[in-house]
Amino acid sequence: MASLRERKLKNGITRYVAIWRDPESKKQTSHPFDTKQAAEQFIADLEANGHQLSKVIDYVNKREGDGQTVQQVIEEHLAQLDGVEKATLAKNYAMARKHIYPALGEVRAQHLTRADVVGWINGLEVSPKTAKNIHAVLSSSLNTAVREGNLNTNVAYGVKPPKPIFTGAEFEAVFLSKFELEQIIEHTPKIFKGLMILLANTGLRYGEATALQGKDLSTDDDGRLVLQVRRAWKGTGTKDSMYLGEPKTRQSRRAVTLSRSSSAALRPYLTGVAADDFLFTINGRFIPHWIFRDQAWTTSLKAAGITSSPRIHDLRHSHASALLRAGVPMHLVSRRLGHSSIKTTVDKYGHLMTTDDATAADLLD
């Protein structure tokens, strides 16, 4: 831990001295500065570089050299993006500010090395998937700088985030039984019950379900309700930033059919809905996730005696689980859930197909 001391010279001038212990020699070391600000900056650099003076010198050279900083490169790149969802752009900015700028933001892009990127990405305390997304922001920004002639090469290209290490502490989906789902629906307040029925029986994402309008609803020849998923609520990170946009993936634009029993249970909550009306509202407006969570989900779980702490999104997981256990082929489940590819479905739910290999073997007899 470095410290700062003030020293008054005989001539009345105050010097500011940074004091730290060298990690290699174990000796206390100091360096004087003319201003307090310069000393504090040096101490911050020491803390960021393990109190190793050689690393601090290299770091400062990179930061104070010529050309744009990494932060400037990223800001310019993000500002030029066209055709990107507002929510996606907001997430990119947030990832850069939280995970890239503190470590690499002040480094001059032309002095950034592959070793810098590898060290940085291996030090991120996030999931491998999130690390991949953060790296994509950096790499695409450097690509833009190369394309515009501001950089010679993209040193982040090809750097891989660390592979996942499963410790047993990772988040696991909660798969609710049919009985548990029935109990949750039974204890849901009436104003939210229609939405709860739909979420539990379709596997729709919350943003898709709450964006449904009367014109998205039809009935097939067997009397089953059919929902056309055409839009979804998006947000940029604040409660007041919600807007209607495209569903999550191209495959998310789909038709989802309810069973006969689910259709019968849902119909009473859809009466009087006009073509441009949302199917589910509160005080004439769509139901934000946080309101449904606080006023319907949490209270229903408690009343139903559910102690496994499921999330609202676990209704989607539970629906997928029920379909697979009923023998519905994986590719049909993938299509119903609107996954971008069947690989996503297999990765998420493949472990539920425990009898597939035995079934395949029996077909050969």
pLDDT per residue over 262-316, tens digit each?
A: 999 999 999 999 999 999 999 888 899 999 999 999 999 999 999 988 999 999 9
CB neighbours of residue 223 within 10 Å: 10
How many alpha carbons lie under 13 Å from residue 221 in its C-beta half-sphere?
0
Q: In which band, very low, low, confident or very high, does the pLDDT at 199 lie, cut at 50, 70 and 90? A: very high
How many alpha carbons lie under 13 Å from residue 110 in its C-beta half-sphere?
10
- Judge if 339 and 225 occupy the same domain: yes
- Judge if 263 and 307 occupy the same domain: yes
Amino acid letter, residue 186: E
In this predicted structure, the answer to whether residue 73 has a pLDDT above a threshold of 50 is yes
- Judge if 93 and 215 occupy the same domain: no
What DSSP string describes 69-137? BHHHHHHHHHHH--S--HHHHHHHHHHIIIIIHHHHTTSBGGG--HHHHHHHHHT--S-HHHHHHHHHH
Paired strand residues for 29: 20
Q: What is the mean pLDDT of residues 192-202?
A: 97
pLDDT at residue 343, as a whole number: 84
- Judge if 76 and 225 occupy the same domain: no
Residues 6+ apart with CB under 8 A from 143: 154, 157
CB neighbours of residue 298 within 10 Å: 12
- Judge if 91 and 110 occupy the same domain: yes
Distance of CA 105 to the CA centre of its chain: 22
What DSSP string describes 198-255? HHHHH---HHHHTT-BGGGEEE-TTS-EEEEE--EEE-SSSTT--EEE--SSGGGSEE
Residues 91 and 87: their CA atoms lie apart, in Å, by 6
In this predicted structure, the answer to whether residue 258 has a pLDDT above a threshold of 50 is yes
In this predicted structure, the answer to whether residue 205 has a pLDDT above a threshold of 90 is yes
- Asked if 292 and 195 touch (Cβ cutoff 8 Å), the reply is yes
Residues 6+ apart with CB under 8 A from 72: 109
Q: Which of 108-112, 186-190, 212-216 has the lowest mean pLDDT?
A: 108-112
Residues 195 and 279: their CA atoms lie apart, in Å, by 8
Of 12-16, 64-68, 256-260, 340-344, highest mean pLDDT? 256-260
- Judge if 299 and 200 occupy the same domain: yes
Q: Which two tokens stand for residue 343?
A: 């690989």
Q: What is the mean pLDDT of residues 87-94?
A: 90
Domain that holds residue 301: 178-357
- Judge if 93 and 114 occupy the same domain: yes
Q: Which two tokens stand for residue 154?
A: 């993209």
Q: Which of 56-65, 111-120, 331-340 has the lowest mean pLDDT?
A: 56-65
Residues 6+ apart with CB under 8 A from 258: 198, 201, 202, 224, 225, 226, 227, 266
Residue 144, SS3? helix
pLDDT at residue 150, as a whole number: 83
Distance of CA 310 to the CA centre of its chain: 18
Query: What pTM does this model have?
Result: 0.63
pLDDT at residue 167, as a whole number: 47
CATH number at residue 187: 1.10.443.10
Residues 6+ apart with CB under 8 A from 84: none
pLDDT at residue 102, as a whole number: 92
Mean pLDDT of the chain: 88
- Judge if 54 and 79 occupy the same domain: no
Residues 230 and 249: their CA atoms lie apart, in Å, by 11
- Judge if 243 and 316 occupy the same domain: yes
Domain for residue 364, yes or no? no
Domain count for the chain: 3
pLDDT at residue 9, as a whole number: 81
- Judge if 102 and 14 occupy the same domain: no
pLDDT at residue 77, as a whole number: 95
pLDDT at residue 243, as a whole number: 85
Instruction: Quote the percentage of the chain above a pLDDT of 70.
Output: 91
Domain for residue 185, yes or no? yes
Q: What is the mean pLDDT of residues 69-85?
A: 91
pLDDT at residue 169, as a whole number: 43
